[in-house]
Chains A and B, each alone.
Chain A
């Protein structure tokens, strides 16, 4: 009994030991864990937030014939520091229907691209995720293979396919399906086709990494409880892959909104997208403040739904925890 008590006291002492306070200099040093997380934070701060603040600042300034071609927000004259904010750019953007139309057509194109990528990419991602493990890497490689050649080369290749004398028209003519070449190049359709092609891998990869984690037993349970395969898909697979769908859609939608190269190369001059507007403001008009304002509005348009989704998720989690 005595030894039992003693050993108990020993173990208590041992448990108390690590709680001893460390020396002041040990506490002052950052711990390894916070150091590791500080690196990406520092990176984002330096290369994302700071440049963004620059752009934000320029968006509130005026054009000036100088280098750089805008007036500084803060000016000092006779020891008085004055801050001049110019809201004119924003007023102009919201006033001129050209900008509104460009935003709308960009959002529309990006939205349709995202939707098509989702419809085309989901079965591909699902097939790869359900493939035997040995085959999966090969299939994934095939999805990523196009990245090995330059993006521009791939767009030019599409021009070769969609052109009036291109491969597609020639094939259709040879098959006798059409009598004269279809006008594919420089249409909405050609922009849409090439954008879906270019962004598809960004949909497939996050969807794959989500679907590959799907527990096959859940599908069996669903079948066992009376669901046909398509019902299982709608009631189990699809809801469980929600996060993959969201991630893939964002990866496609966000860069697609600002897409410049594809509409420039295969699009029509009439349909103006916001990427083109930015280019024109910046390079053709040399109007940095206007270009900056267009950018800020675009970022706001993209970030608002992200924040909304994030908040909703948080609320759902809090509700679940409260139960």
Chain B
């Protein structure tokens, strides 16, 4: 079902899309690594393929770069079918995961490498290299060899090298994967700024959801060779379309249940883990009685001592663990059904009264618009 809707999306977006991946399949022997992927990306978009290792995202990226050939399907860039082109014939450049800088060349020579291949004049190359060095703020280091640079500096050189040829499409393979955590966070926005400054369509591959959400305008969630959901970071987080996405992006509480009332503007769910009726304020495409999952983000769950006055969307329990994280705390509330619900409550919530402590009976509650029903 999702596949056909993606087909539809690919067709409708086709008109304005810059890059089109049409029904691409990649098999290694009997192993299908990329399974009928359809995707279209608009010009100057920054798109992230997000998934855990082995989900096929890197293979998809390598097919875009031309280092792997699709078993079937087509890749169209700016109206041109590039499926059969060799890597050196494609107007696409890639920033490699470990940067793959040429160790026998200086920073400037690395950046000039691809330009020399384009048979630009010497002065043009020098000018372009200069501009790239300025962009990534590495002018001072132009004559250093890669091994004399820190990881962050190497990453900037790799970016400059892949942008120097002014590619139609920039590919980033785990762009910040080789940096330590602190440097990574700081570099994320820097990298986006540089890419936007140049104005290039960009596809990145990452397993780090924070990286994807910070940097990309749109995200595609991949699992087992398939694209599960393609949407903006906000949509993916607030309206995941399947259980995998809901669990993969951020934390969530999942409850199994089935549909007991199916209206266009709302559904009611019955779950044995939640004794009170559950009402969700959005319609679903499904049938009465079908099994579904209810996803409830921890920050959408309220914790209070008073029993809510409404009839549904709450549950009674006791506080198990409390993780104090400064600005907010995460309460692990054990419901009477035995299910543990995580609730993230901001510190400001406890102005009038003290926060509940261990083993205190509490109520967790949420509104119609807080939970999301997942049909698959």
Contacts and interface: CB of A to CB of B under 8 A. Distances in A.
Q: Do A and B come from one complex?
A: yes
Interface of A: 215, 217-218, 220-228, 231, 235-236, 239-240, 242, 320, 323
A323 B100 contact: no
A240 B103 contact: yes
A228 B93 CA distance: 15
A226 B102 contact: no
Interface stretch (B141-149, B189-197, B220-228, B245-253): B141-149
B148 A223 contact: no
Interface stretch (B8-16, B45-53, B110-118): B110-118
A104 to B, nearest CB: 35
Given A220-B87, A228-B88, 12 more contacts: A221-B96, A221-B102, A222-B113, A224-B66, A224-B87, A224-B92, A224-B162, A225-B88, A226-B88, A226-B114, A226-B165, A320-B145
Q: Determine the main DSSP class of B at the interface with A.
A: loop
15 contacts: A217-B96, A217-B98, A220-B100, A221-B94, A221-B101, A221-B102, A222-B102, A223-B67, A223-B86, A224-B88, A224-B92, A225-B88, A240-B102, A240-B104, A320-B145
Contacts of A221: 94, 96, 100-102
Interface residues of B, number: 27
B48 to A, nearest CB: 20
A215 B146 CA distance: 15
B88 A323 contact: no
Contacts of B113: 222, 225, 235
Given A227-B88, A228-B88, A235-B113, A220 B145 contact: no
Interface string B58-92: 00000001110000000000000000001110001
B156 interface: no
Contacts of B66: 223-224
Contacts of A215: 100
A3 B165 CA distance: 60
A52 to B, nearest CB: 36
The 7 closest A-B pairs by CB, nearest first: A225-B114, A226-B117, A221-B100, A223-B87, A217-B100, A226-B88, A239-B104
A57 B94 CA distance: 64
B105 to A, nearest CB: 8
B82 to A, nearest CB: 13
B85 to A, nearest CB: 11
B161 interface: yes
Nearest to A239: B104
